[in-house]
Structure 1
Amino acid sequence: VFDYAMAIDLPGSLQLYKGIEGFEGKQFKDVRWLFLRNIFADRLYVRKDSGITSFADLKGKKFCPGIPGSASAAYVMDYNEILGHEIDLVPSALGDAITALKENRIVGMQKSSGLSNMDAALIEVNLTTPLTVIGYSEEDVKKIQERIPYMTFLKREKGSIVEFPDVGPIWEECPIAGAVATAAMPEEVGYQIVKAYVEGFDEVVAAYGPVKGFDPVGDYFKNAGDDVVPAHAGLIRYAKEQGIEVPERFIPPEYKE
């Protein structure tokens, strides 16, 4: 059984691989990247009537960074500390955060969303409580990546988010999400999983729209930064068969040509 719902983001798998953050003292060097699901945005939504236009503008304001204990909430809390913005962060369950947003008890909330669209949970909210999206400045991104080099940020140009055509350019934190395995999984098994996923990709898209437009093999090697989780030997074999270049930093010690 392959539980597709349990996809992990690259920052989380890197923390496990390195034994840092929540995995301090629990390093697991045998984790291997299997295939990419999609790239999403840990998006910062605010009430349009708040007048807030950037992450820095949240200084002193009540803002929900996400669900307590979630990786995305922890990242926002880290960024607040790194940048010294002194935001009044209020981690909350999704339903509680939406209620607080409607009642103007918080000015906004972080919600993981597809790259090009508003999260479905906020569509109805936006009808009665107009929202907008804010992002980080280029200077913010530089400071964050000095401390957390494995975080991925993308510059989103004006019109990148369908429901907010006037938003942009902004920088958003955009983690890579996908499936991982271990070095103990045989190359042949990993290869067959990746092959089946790619060959059945149209069926996957029909069931889970946010993966549409992503290359589950090539996009990992193209979009991951300098700090990576090694690829599974089966993924590397499949990629090379397809003529996809696999840079040296992705090659694990167990892989043999």
Structure 2
Amino acid sequence: MLKKIFKITLLLSATTLAAGCGQESGPDTKPMVSLSVGTTNTSSSLYAYYSGLIKSVKQQAPEINMTIIETGATIDNITRLQKGQIDIGLAVMDGAYEAYEGTGKWAGNAQSDLRTLFTYTENAVYYAVTKDSGVTSMQGLEGKKFNLGIKGSTTENQTTEILKLLGVAVVAHTGDVSDAVNAIKDGDIIGLTKTGVGTSGDATIMDLETSKKLQLLGYTDEEVAKIQAAYPWLRTTVIPAGIYDWHTKSVTTLAQQVGNIANTKMSVDTAYKITKAAFEEKKYQEESYKSIKALDFKTLTLDSPIPLHAGTVKYLKEAGVDVPKKLIPSEYKD
């Protein structure tokens, strides 16, 4: 009798297990996709954006698991993509363009398989110095101890190249944003370079102004002309007067479009799902990075200086967007 009960129990257990396995491997089950996302330094406001992106993607594609990784931003992310260490990377699009074309830092090492997933913001580059330094222009940085941007970032590389172009030699301070802020507060350096959230003010600058009187530097018309003659893909913007009480005069600076890049190794389906979720579930990203609320992802993405991912093109075309031929990669199939 006991043997009979044992056989029945075993049979029921096996049947239940088989049913469970059949459910997991059924035709409606979507395979899990794990992705590593290279971002930037945790002290950057851009880092916070990615928690919102993950929420957006989970709304439409719960099978996609995204892991955020702190990195040195654009150049570091492109290098990691090249090595297969990450699947998606934050990128200042100017830096992505240089890598794609094989110019600047990437001379002789073109990353022709880079693709834009989507672009989500345009930021201003802040050159902030202490008032007591006496520096009032980019030329005034000559010989001064100054932070050029997060180590390994496009901002650092860009600032280094532009100051060299303008004939300005600084004593470069190396470190992340927190290192630079502390060095300014301690009087070790006179200022820093960083990207700010749009042109509406920046949390790091607001933190600094509690202990130091500051001034923002900008480029003259002649300097802008020289920069754009050498780097025609760079764009400018204006940091308007009044965004801080002490900032009484508008200054012209560089603008950086920021987005997410991948390469051709990412499947069309995965890129499609991520882009679709980012565009259609934008509110979650707005909660993490409020300045993008007034921005249109489609408009920004169509301004990409490198080809879009085939999955992005697929989504945009389904959404009725006319995608310029120059942005459609050779691997895209209708």
State the alpha-carbon separation in 1 of the partners of residues 215 and 313 from structure 2.
Answer: 41
Q: Which deviates more from structure 2 when the two are superposed, residues 95-104 or residues 199-208?
A: 95-104
Give a deviation string over 1:195-238, Cα, whole Å, max 9, x none. Answer: 1111111011112334332222221324x5xxx21112232333
Q: Which of residues 302, 309, 314 is equivalent to 1:221?
A: 302
Alignment-derived partner of residue 56 in structure 1: 139
TM-score (norm 1): 0.84
After superposition, the C-alpha distances for 1:17-54 in whole angstroms (9 at most, x for unaligned) are 12333434432212111111211222111112334332
CA 1:97–1:199 in structure 2 vs 1: closer, same or farther (change >3 Å)? same
Q: Mark the CA change 1:124 to 1:143 in structure 2 (over 3 Å): closer, same or farther.
A: same
TM-aligned CA distance change 1:112 to 1:232, over 3 Å: same
Query: Which residue identity lines up with residue 312 of structure 2 in the other structure?
Result: L
1:185–1:62 Cα change, 3 Å: closer
Aligned length: 251
2:290 is aligned, of 206, 209, 213, to 209
CA contact (8 A) 1:54 1:134 kept: yes
Higher relative contact order (CA 8 A, sep 6+): 1
Distance 1:142 1:247, change over 3 A: farther
Q: 1:75 aligns with which of 143, 158, 172?
A: 158
| 8 A contact 1:111–1:119 mirrored in 2 | no
- Counterpart of 1:154 in structure 2 is 237
Out of 185, 190, 195, the residue aligned to residue 107 of structure 1 is: 190
Given that residues 275 and 315 in structure 2 are in contact (C-alpha distance below 8 angstroms), is that contact kept between their aligned partners in structure 1? yes
| Corresponding residue for residue 144 of structure 1 | 227
- 1:51-75 per-position Cα deviation (integer Å, ceiling 9, x unaligned): 4332123233322212333321121
Q: How far apart are the structure 2 equivalents of 1:43 and 1:173?
A: 8
Q: Deviations over 1:101-159 (max 9, x none)?
A: 22433221112221234432342321121212111122212212222233232234434
Determine helix, strand or coil for the equivalent of 2:192.
Answer: strand
Q: Distance in 1 between matches of 2:200 and 2:110?
A: 35
Identity of aligned residues (%): 29
1:171 aligned partner: 252
1:196 to 271, 277, 285: 277
Distance 1:155 1:173 in 2: 8
Map 1:115-130 to 2 at 5 A.
115-130=198-213
- SS for the counterpart of 1:105 is coil
Residue 184 of structure 1 and its aligned partner are, at CA, apart by 4.2
> 1:16 — aligned with what?
99
- What does residue 329 of structure 2 align with? 252
When the two structures are superposed, what TM-score results if normalisation uses the length of structure 2? Answer: 0.66
What amino acid maps onto 1:211 in structure 2?
Answer: I
Secondary structure, in 3 states, of the residue corresponding to 2:127?
strand
- Ranges of 4+ aligned residues in structure 1 off by more than 6 Å: none
Residue in structure 1 matched with residue 171 of structure 2 by the alignment: 88
Structure 1 residues 177, 108: CA separation in 2 closer, same or farther (over 3 Å shift)?
Answer: same
Label 1:163 to 1:176 Cα distance change in 2 as closer, same or farther (>3 A): farther
SS in 2 for 1:246: coil
Q: Verify the 8 A CA contact 1:66 1:109 in the aligned structure 2.
A: yes
Q: 1: CA distance between counterparts of 2:105 and 2:209? A: 34
Displacement of 1:186 = 4.0
Structure 1 position 183 matched with structure 2 position 260: no
Q: 1:206 to 1:164 in 2, by over 3 A?
A: farther
Aligned to 2:120: 37
Q: Does 210-219 or 72-81 show the bigger shift?
A: 210-219
Distance 1:83 1:108 in 2: 18
How far did 1:241 drift? 3.9
User: For residues 56 and 123 of structure 1, do their structure 2 counterparts lie closer, same or farther at Cα, with a shift above 3 Å needed?
Assistant: same
Q: For the residues of structure 2 that align with 1:246 and 1:162, how far apart are their CA atoms?
A: 39
1:59–1:86 Cα contact (<8 Å) kept: yes
Structure 1 residue runs of 5 or longer lacking an equivalent are: none
